[in-house]
């Protein structure tokens, strides 16, 4: 199981576009229901810093999130939207309580 956090900061003028693109990813994921992954996105109170948490629970480690059209659109010009580029960080879970459950 691979867990990762990605943190980045978008330019203020790109915040609304980034939010729209992130929301489209969730709409696409809810429509297609990719199996074996868990995904959450948060925006900090500054409105421009985003944190994505991703857990791949697939035994083949294939990432179906990356196959979604909306995710491809989100990534297409991400670096141009950013003031601080994405920084991926591998996570090792120590414990959680219903963190990814709804």
pLDDT tens for 1-33 read 889 999 999 999 999 999 999 999 999 999 999
Task: Please report which confidence band the pLDDT of residue 100 belongs to, taking 50, 70 and 90 as the band edges.
Answer: low
Q: Is 67 exposed, middle or buried (0-12, 13-18, 19+ CB in 10 A)?
A: exposed
The answer, yes or no, to whether residue 61 has pLDDT greater than 90, is no
Q: Is 50 exposed, middle or buried (0-12, 13-18, 19+ CB in 10 A)?
A: buried
Q: What is the mean pLDDT of residues 63-69?
A: 94
The answer, yes or no, to whether residue 53 has pLDDT greater than 60, is yes
Residue 4 contacts residue 61 (beta carbons within 8 Å): no
By percentage, how much of the chain surpasses pLDDT 90? 82
CATH class, domain 2-91, is alpha beta
Q: What is the pLDDT of residue 89?
A: 97
């Amino acid at each position: 199981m691979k867990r990762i956090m990605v943190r980045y900061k978008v330019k203020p003028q790109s915040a609304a576009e980034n939010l729209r693109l992130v929301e489209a990813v969730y709409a696409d994921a809810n429509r297609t229901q990719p199996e074996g992954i868990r995904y959450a996105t948060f925006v900090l109170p500054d409105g421009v810093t985003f944190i994505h948490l991703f857990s791949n629970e697939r035994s083949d480690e294939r990432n179906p999130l990356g196959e979604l059209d909306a995710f491809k659109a989100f990534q297409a010009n991400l670096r141009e939207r950013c003031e601080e580029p994405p920084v991926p960080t591998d996570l090792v879970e120590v414990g959680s309580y219903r963190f990814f459950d709804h």
